[in-house]
Amino acid sequence: MNELTVSSLRFSYGKEEVLKDLSFYVKKGCFYSILGPNGSGKTTVLRHIQKLLLPQSGKVMLGPEEIRQMKVRDLARKIATVPQETHVSVDFPVLDFVLSGRAPYLKRFENESSLDYKKAEEAMIATNTWQYSHKSVQELSGGELQRVVVARAMVQEPELLLLDEPVSHLDLRHQVLILDQVNSYCRSHNSTVISVLHDINLAIAYSDELILMKKGEIFVKGVPEDIITEENLREVYETECLIIENPLNGKPYVIPKISRRREEE
Ligand SMILES: Nc1ncnc2c1ncn2[C@@H]1O[C@H](COP(=O)(O)OP(=O)(O)OP(=O)(O)O)[C@@H](O)[C@H]1O
């Protein structure tokens, strides 16, 4: 059975149709990246999977269950999300923020156990955030906070981890560190990852399959070697690219053809 199946999903914000009869499935234990131009509907798809939006027509199924029928607490045990931006309005120690990822597993008024603390510590070490544990969440930089939010999602131990541009605020070292950790989490827990990424080369390097979106539709889905072609990138991004073989992993590597003309003096 597929981990997640999206069938004939349609959605409009007001008059503008943003998702147009969109269908795809993902398999358990695999890493998927959704790619596509700004405004193509990537975040809107993730919002449907989180039940933040309900389909105007079509269905989103998690295993055998339709997501619109699932209780929020059940959904929180199965799906964790790292949103594009996180705003924390209360003064919260970072460790408590990460521990809040265990909330779906606690009974009412139950405190976290030593095992919960251990899971939080492990996730924070993995995301290089343990050193901030006693700081306030509000004192973190954008990139530090983004890593802390990934740690919280990992302690939630989801079957499905949704990431919306999870490395957009991160320096090179932490981009690799976070995607390595998410990838090893996915493999060791047999969890599924769906990540929106703008960096095509990172998406190719980490993903089993890519989902390329254009104007609210799936343009193509498949393994990078099959779908990363000059024609597909021209169609989707309206950009000319050179594709070479990445000497490190044998996968495609995309180089946009940038024309730099020196301005006349
Ligand atoms: N709350 C909203 N109200 C009205 N229109 C919206 C809303 N959220 C998104 N849209 C519109 O829906 C379309 C798809 O937005 P979405 O955020 O899903 O795109 P995206 O592919 O994730 O874009 P990006 O790469 O820029 O993050 C865009 O045209 C956007 O302007």
Q: What is the pLDDT of residues 124-159, one digit of tens each?
A: 999 999 999 999 999 999 999 999 999 999 999 999
Q: CB under 8 Å, gap of 24 or more: what pairs does 115-123 form?
A: 116/155, 119/155, 119/157, 120/95, 120/151, 120/155, 123/98, 123/151, 123/152, 123/154, 123/155
Q: What is the mean pLDDT of residues 20-48?
A: 96
Q: Is the ipTM of this complex over 0.90?
A: yes
pLDDT at 91: 87
Burial of 140-179, coded b for 16+ CB within 10 Å and e otherwise, reads beebbbbbbbbbbbbbbbbbbbbbbbbbbbbeeebbebbb
39 lines ligand 1 (CB under 6 A): yes
This prediction's pTM = 0.93
Q: How far apart are the CA of 129 and the centre of ligand 1, in A? A: 31
Q: What is the mean pLDDT of residues 2-17?
A: 92
Ligand 1 atom nearest to 37, measured from its CA: 25
Q: What is the mean pLDDT of residues 90-118?
A: 90
Q: How far apart are the CA of 44 and the centre of ligand 1, in A? A: 7
The band of 25, judged by pLDDT with boundaries at 50, 70 and 90, is: very high
Ligand 1 atom nearest to 46, measured from its CA: 18
Q: Please tell me the distance from the alpha carbon of residue 165 to that of residue 259, in angstroms, as a whole number.
A: 27
Asked whether the beta carbons of 151 and 98 are under 8 A apart, the reply is: yes
43 lines ligand 1 (CB under 6 A): yes
Instruction: Indicate whether 17 pLDDT > 80.
Output: yes
pLDDT at 263: 58
Considering the chain, what is the average pLDDT of its residues? 93
Q: CB under 8 Å, gap of 24 or more: what pairs does 119-123 form?
A: 119/155, 119/157, 120/95, 120/151, 120/155, 123/98, 123/151, 123/152, 123/154, 123/155
Percent of the chain with pLDDT over 90: 81
Ligand 1 atom nearest to 41, measured from its CA: 18
Residue 7 tokens read as 């069938």
SS3 content of the chain, % helix, strand, coil (to 5): 40, 25, 35
38 lines ligand 1 (CB under 6 A): yes
Distances (CA, A) of 260 to 70, 238, 241, 263: 52, 18, 15, 9
195 lines ligand 1 (CB under 6 A): no
Instruction: Indicate whether 265 pLDDT > 70.
Output: no
Q: How far apart are the CA of 188 and the centre of ligand 1, in A? A: 33
Q: What is the mean pLDDT of residues 223-245?
A: 96
Domains of the chain: 4-256 (3.40.50.300)
The band of 264, judged by pLDDT with boundaries at 50, 70 and 90, is: low
